[in-house]
Amino acid sequence: MDTLILTADDVHSVARYVGLDALMDALMDRLTAAFAVYRPEDTPIPMRKGFAYHRPAPGLIEWMPCMGREEQVTIKVVGYHPTNAARHNLPTILSTVSAYDPATGHLMCMMDGTLLTALRTGAASAIASRLLAAPHTETVGLIGAGAQAVTQLHALTRVLDLRHVLVYDTDPAVQATFVARMRSFADSLTIEAAPPETIVRRADVICTATSVEIGCGPVFADTTPQPWAHFNAVGSDFPGKVEVPVALLRRSLVCPDFREQALHEGECQQLPAEAIGPSLYELVQQPEAYRFAQDELTVFDSTGWALEDHVAMGLFIEYATDLGLGTRLAVEAIPDDPHDPYQLAAAVAASVS
Amino acid sequence: MDTLILTADDVHSVARYVGLDALMDALMDRLTAAFAVYRPEDTPIPMRKGFAYHRPAPGLIEWMPCMGREEQVTIKVVGYHPTNAARHNLPTILSTVSAYDPATGHLMCMMDGTLLTALRTGAASAIASRLLAAPHTETVGLIGAGAQAVTQLHALTRVLDLRHVLVYDTDPAVQATFVARMRSFADSLTIEAAPPETIVRRADVICTATSVEIGCGPVFADTTPQPWAHFNAVGSDFPGKVEVPVALLRRSLVCPDFREQALHEGECQQLPAEAIGPSLYELVQQPEAYRFAQDELTVFDSTGWALEDHVAMGLFIEYATDLGLGTRLAVEAIPDDPHDPYQLAAAVAASVS
């Protein structure tokens, strides 16, 4: 009874074989389908919990479980360490995802979760934008130009007919390399640097994906966006950490990915519960009911939802299995006699004892 | 930046090289040392949470995190599926344990948790028994003769001068094979089958390690044990699941491994909070204060504590590293540029897009 281990190399091989555009499209299709049938009472998804560290480095290690019914229990463990890039040349987010067989508890698969996280976060914003952004959207603004900005923009290019990109990062070096990191995905786009408030005033869709420190948000001053502007607020994921001015939230239809969690650690922290709009899955289930919002200010409050990881992992497992990728290891002890914990260790133990 | 993967084979190789007696002794030493310095405010350990399934098979999948300060975050995921043995010839408990670097979030090690769980559960009972059992203990009773009973008795042989073992299992086949599964660990012991109530009346130390169903406990009728009898109640680990009659608990000093969790899913469920005695770590920190209890009825309410897994995993990682065991895989994506999620997938993607 083996465990399939998909390393970063395997995950990226999937991406190379399938193609990043096709992978993003397939993921958006799967997520949309999962949201369309999601009912909270069928699929328990507890809020993520975690440990917050102040030393040796400021950071979080969190676990995000999702109780799949038919398929698998998925648990993502994600580290969030804003100093990783500067101190260790490591990504801010390091994560792995594991899938367990609900029938036996067997660990079926463990895989790198870094690309998966970036992809599903981009896909969720694109699904929200397809429903809430103005159909005539041409200009996307990016506040925060790190790893998440790449998949935000990539995903948006798959659902909107974009022409212009405005980009800002507090770190000039990160801002300067953004075009190169977008590669051919941005070939048909003009990409221009601009300060945050200019981005907010000019763009049709704005993605905030920053590592703003707790208590230091929002990441732009309240200003007058386009009347139809849609925001994907991606970075807010901890109590006290917010990116969008509360005054703007109050003028907007605010749609969380996962309401309970967004109230605790998303932009929704800044709002009373009754001021929060439908969740993304409710938008997907009733698109006509919320079409009016395409002409109004809207905010997708993306805290990161375990259902997204669950769906994305299922897709990667399918592709990897089809392609014969991954390493299979017999991780768990399966003695011939399940009542004999020492069977596998006993051969020599008898002579030792 | 590799992840060390210790499969069941690696874990059992550690056990063979080190020897099961030496491994159990080292684990008891480490656990005792960890309990001696444990302070709840320094080491947050949330209660385990999990998903309970009724189909496809009755079972639980739970996660047990422990926030190590200096060393590692440890998260054990454990499946508990009582029908595994009969339906799949698999152990009731399947588990894996993972260790994360608090400085970066990096997954340092993932390993089989099955032997680790059985060992640390035995070790905890032995530590409790060394403190609470009568020094003249000669007879151990085992109610439930499955995998956990093997490590319970093995651990007890390391701390008590045992002569006789009384054993009972609801499954005659499991009871019949118990002696063979104990191997040479039981060479100097007489092992005799007996009904549960006889075991409770005659033994100095009694271990209950059953898979009694929710609502179907206790596993023996209230009777009169030796006045100094000590119980290790190991099987109770879910709301509604208990092994020991409440009347006996009321006459005993009841010591949980993890008070908050024991109140929720251990024998302590049957008691008001104020009737619960010191936790195991408090016994270790103040052995003289509780020496009187060796002459009285005592119950160690063992629900399984993430700190035990944390300590046991640290020990296995040390041994495995010394012995050069395990598989190292670069599980997580570490691009040269931490802001470039597509770097590793980009070579072909450009031509695909």
pLDDT digits 0-9 by tens, A142-180: 999 999 999 999 999 999 999 999 999 999 999 999 999
The H or E element that residue B51 is part of is strand B49-53
Report cis status (omega within 30 of 0) of the bond before A218: yes
CA-to-CA distance for A267 and A259, rounded, in angstroms?
10
Question: Does residue A252 sit at the B interface (CB-CB below 8 Å)?
Answer: no
Mean per-residue pLDDT over chain B, rounded:
93
B contact test, residue of A21, A116, A340, A351 with most B CBs within 10 A: A340
Contacts of A155 in chain B (CB under 8 A): none
pLDDT of residue A58: 86
Q: What is the pLDDT of residue B352?
A: 39
CB of A250 within 8 A of CB of A275?
yes
> Which of B23, B51, B177 should we substitute to test contact with A (largest number of A Cβ atoms within 10 Å)?
B51
Chain length of chain A? 353
pLDDT in the model for residue A351: 40
In which region does residue B58 sit, left (phi positive, over 0), alpha (psi from -120 to 50) or beta (all else)? beta
Token digits of residue B112: 């089989």
pLDDT per residue as tens digits for the range A214-228: 889 999 999 999 999
Position B86 scores a pLDDT of 87
Q: Cβ of B300: how many Cβ atoms within 10 Å?
A: 29
pLDDT in the model for residue A69: 67
pLDDT at position A350 is: 44
Q: How far apart are CA B97 and CA B117, in angstroms?
A: 10
**Cα-Cα-Cα-Cα dihedral sign, residues A327, A332, A333, A339:** negative
For residue B26, what is the enclosing H or E element?
A: helix B20-37
Task: Please tell me if residue B91 touches chain A, with a CB cutoff of 8 Å.
Answer: yes
Measured between CA atoms, how close is A152 to chain B, in angstroms? 11
Q: Is the pLDDT of residue A87 over 50?
A: yes
A207 CA to chain B: closest CA distance, Å? Answer: 16
Say if residue A327's pLDDT is above 70. Answer: yes
Q: Burial code of A143-158, b = ≥16 C-beta within 10 A, e = fewer?
A: bbbbbbbbbbbbbbbb
How far is residue B96 CA from its own chain's centroid?
A: 13
Q: Is A51 on the interface with B (CB under 8 A)?
A: yes
More confident residue, B272 or B57: B272
**Cα-based distances in Å from B257 to A14, B142, B299, B308:** 45, 20, 11, 10
Cβ atoms of residues A253 and A297 within 8 Å? yes
Residue A347, pLDDT score: 58
Q: Give which of B157, B164, B161, B149 is closest to B198, Cα–Cα.
A: B164
A246: CB partners within 8 A, 6+ apart: A218, A270, A271
Decide if B208 contacts B152 (C-beta within 8 A): no
Residue B143: beta bridge partners? Answer: B168, B208
- Cα distance between the two ends of chain A: 31
What's the pLDDT tens digit per position in B218-228?
Answer: 999 999 999 99
Q: A340, B181: Cβ pair inside 8 Å?
A: yes
Cβ atoms of residues B17 and B321 within 8 Å: no
Q: Is the pLDDT of residue A130 over 50?
A: yes
* Partners of B142 in beta bridges: B167, B207
Residue B186 pLDDT class (50, 70, 90 cuts): confident
Strand partners, A91: none
pLDDT confidence of residue B168: 98
**Token pair recorded at residue B26:** 């080292």
Mean pLDDT, residues B86-112 taken together: 93
Inspect the interface and report whether the beta carbons of A174 and B12 lie closer than 8 Å.
Answer: no
First to last CA, chain B: 31
* Closest CB to A19 among B19, B57, B349: B349
Dihedral of CA B331/B335/B341/B344: which sign? negative
The C-alpha atoms of residue A133 and residue B276 are separated, in whole angstroms, by: 58
Alpha-carbon gap, residue A153 to A160, rounded angstroms: 10
Give the pLDDT confidence score for residue B353 in this predicted structure: 39
> Which is nearest to B121 in space by CA: B94, B100, B148, B154?
B148
Mutate to test the interface with A, among B27, B80, B329 (most CBs of A within 10 A): B329
Instruction: Identify the CA nearest to B305 among candidates B155, B116, B131.
Output: B116
Q: Does residue B20 carry a pLDDT above 90? A: yes
Report chain A's mean pLDDT, rounded to a whole number. Answer: 93
CA distance A136 to chain B (A): 23
Name, in order, each residue with C-beta under 8 angstroms of B302's C-beta and a sequence gap of 6 or more: B121, B124, B125, B128, B232, B233, B234, B257, B266
Nearest to A94 by CA among B189, B292, B338: B338
Helix, strand, coil percentages, rounded to 5, for chain B = 40, 20, 35
Least confident of A19-28, A230-239, A267-276: A230-239
- What tens digit of pLDDT does each residue of B119-177 get? 999 999 999 999 999 999 999 999 999 999 999 999 999 999 999 999 999 999 999 99
What pLDDT, on a 0 to 100 scale, did the predictor assign at position B69? 67
Q: Please name the member of B61, B84, B329 whose beta carbon is closest to the beta carbon of A73.
A: B61
Contacts of residue A78 in chain B, CB cutoff 8 Å?
Answer: 105
- Chain A residues near residue B97 by CB distance under 8 angstroms: none
Confidence band, pLDDT 50/70/90 cuts, at residue A353:
very low
Least CB–CB distance from B345: residue in A20, A79, A332: A20
The pTM of this model reads: 0.91
What values do phi and psi take at A158, rounded to 5? -80, -15
Bridge partners of B256? B301
CB-CB contact of A166 with A36 (8 Å): no
H helix and E strand count, chain A = 13, 14
Find the angle CA(A287)-CA(A307)-CA(A14) to the nearest 5 degrees: 105
pLDDT of residue A136: 97
Asked if A334 lies within 8 A of B90 by C-beta distance, the reply is: yes
ipTM (interface pTM): 0.89
**What separation in angstroms does the CA of A55 have from each of A178, A317, B33?**
31, 36, 24
pLDDT at B117 over 80: yes
Residues with Cβ within 8 Å of A171's Cβ and at least 6 positions away in sequence, in order, are none
A residues 159-218 near B, CB within 8 Å? 174, 177, 181, 183-185
Question: Does B78 lie at the interface with A, CB-CB under 8 angstroms?
Answer: yes
Contacts of A350 in chain B (CB under 8 A): 183-184
Inter-chain residue contact B353 with A21, CB threshold 8 Å: yes
